[in-house]
Chains A and B, each alone.
Chain A
Amino acid sequence: MKALRTLTNGIIRENPILVLVLGTCPFLAVTTQASNAIGMGAAVTFVLLCSNILISILRKVISEKVRIPCFIVVIASFVTLVQMIVQAFLPDLNDALGLYLPLIVVNCIILGRAEMFASKNGVFLSALDAIGMGVGYTLAMLVMASIREILGSGTWFGMPLPVLSDNNISIMVMAPGGFAIFGVLIAIVNKATKGKAPRKKDFGCAGCPSAAVCGGGLACAGADGKEAAGK
């Protein structure tokens, strides 16, 4: 039962992107095409799964004081592995993802899950958690990329769609469209959950680069607009 909950947690209740607003940079950047979103999602899921498993195995060996550098080395190794695989077998995807492929290493989701989950739980649960989070991330990316690709280029997975392909809104595949659609998606999630989604503070800010300044929950209002606005 706990295993099932761990697995589904990341997909809906604690969706890393739409609820926790983590790992936004690649989310905004590569979602111009649905196929890129799948590629990026798969790469992130793979790194997340491998690093969660390895960190969970090593959690009793890694000393408390040097844990963050250790996590970063583990994550960076798997990212390098993914980079090599993608460069060798999927050169088109490599060109499309470009800089964002090596930048998986600084993706808050991966370090955040290592810190909050894998360093405290067993291998099996950590693997399930990684799969849940990875699938949640991929699905969110796919939704976002589908909206942007259909509206912006009039295609879906590269297939031209009737009517839309002649009347595309090209700003949707540019930077402003990314920000705007992301905002609307979070608003829809807020509306659907009525602000009851978990706060980022419960999830752990350790993996977030703004943690020290925001002090938990101040800036990341993705899940609780009301409270942030009331402060």
Chain B
Amino acid sequence: MKEIIAIIMTAVLVNNYVLSQFLGICPFLGVSKKLDQATGMSIAVIFVMVLSTAVTYPIQFFILNPNGLGYLQTIVFILVIAALVQLVEIILKKYIPSLHAALGVYLPLITTNCAVLGVCISNVDSYLLEGAAFGTSFVHALFNSFGSGVGFFLAMVLFAGVRTRVERCNCPACFKGMPITLISASILSVSFMGFAGLVENLLG
């Protein structure tokens, strides 16, 4: 239990995917303009991250590694994620139209989101160690994905708030748009640096 809390807190606050790992910057800068869009996108990201870990981790564990095919990881993962996202979209469209209406537009663009592929690969790198039992490591990987997704959500929602204020500010013309957005992101990132050492001191 303690381990799982530590994994989630590390993923959400200390190693925040957007603000300290630089993964998923494109949607972070692109979709964070409005709060409702930011929320929809982030929920879709959490969902796809957990789901794709649930599929890719067993593939690596039971298919690629025992057969010495570890080098196919990149190709297999990206194709599995792309197919999975398509499948989820079709299922949602057919059976849960309301959820599809809310998340549908965000699903296709998640395929090329580096945070999703990133979390799958980093789960394999950090939890699938020599001689690790499948059960425990799989649960840890799932919680790490969930935490990373929540971290993305937190960064997006916080930043959407900051951005609506920044848009109205009067800054030098050459800084308008992307540059001032990046500088605001930098300040938000400084605030997340304050969480360094949190997990060790709290749960260590």
**Chain A interface residues (CB < 8 Å from chain B):** 21, 24-26, 28-29, 69, 72-73, 76-77, 79-80, 83-84, 99, 102-103, 105-108, 111, 171, 174-180, 182-184, 186-188, 190-191, 195, 207-214, 218-222, 224-226, 228-229
Contact = CB atoms under 8 A, between A and B. Distances in A.
Interface string B56-72: 00000000000000011
Contacts of B108: 212
Contact of B193 (A175, A190, A220, A228): A175
Given A72-B79, A76-B79, 5 more contacts: A107-B114, A178-B186, A179-B185, A183-B185, A210-B109
B113 to A, nearest CB: 5
Interface residues of B, number: 57
B33 interface: yes
A212 B33 contact: no
A190 B29 contact: no
Contacts of B109: 209-213
The 5 closest A-B pairs by CB, nearest first: A221-B177, A210-B30, A225-B177, A183-B182, A225-B176
B178 A225 contact: yes
A229 to B, nearest CB: 4
B96 to A, nearest CB: 20
B138 interface: no
Main secondary structure of the interface of A (DSSP, over half): helix
Nearest to B106: A213
Given A213-B109, A228-B177, A99 B122 contact: yes
Nearest to B111: A209
Contacts of A102: 73-74, 117, 121
B33 A219 contact: yes
Nearest to B30: A210
14 contacts: A24-B29, A69-B82, A80-B75, A99-B121, A175-B189, A178-B186, A180-B183, A183-B181, A184-B183, A190-B175, A209-B113, A210-B109, A226-B177, A228-B176
Given A28-B25, A72-B82, A99 B179 contact: no
Contacts of A72: 78-79, 82
B8 interface: no
Interface stretch (B16-24, B128-136, B145-153): B16-24
Interface of B: 19-27, 29-31, 33, 37, 41, 71-75, 78-79, 82, 105-106, 108-114, 117-118, 121-122, 125, 167, 172-183, 185-187, 189-190, 192-193
A176 B187 contact: yes
Given A25-B25, A177-B186, A186 B179 contact: yes
- Interface centre among A211, A213, A224, by most B CB within 10 Å? A213
Contacts of A186: 178-179, 182
Nearest to B83: A69
Nearest to A179: B186
A73 B20 CA distance: 29
A106 B75 CA distance: 11
A219 B122 CA distance: 29
Contact of A25 (B23, B31, B167): B23
Contacts of A211: 109
Contacts of B72: 80
Contact of A225 (B33, B125, B174): B174
Nearest to A174: B193
Contacts of A84: 71
A105 B117 contact: yes
B57 to A, nearest CB: 16
A182 B192 CA distance: 19
A199 B38 CA distance: 23
Given A225-B179, A229-B167, A214 B75 contact: no
- Interface centre among B20, B37, B179, B180, by most A CB within 10 Å? B179
Contacts of A79: 74
Contacts of B121: 99, 102-103
A195 B172 CA distance: 13
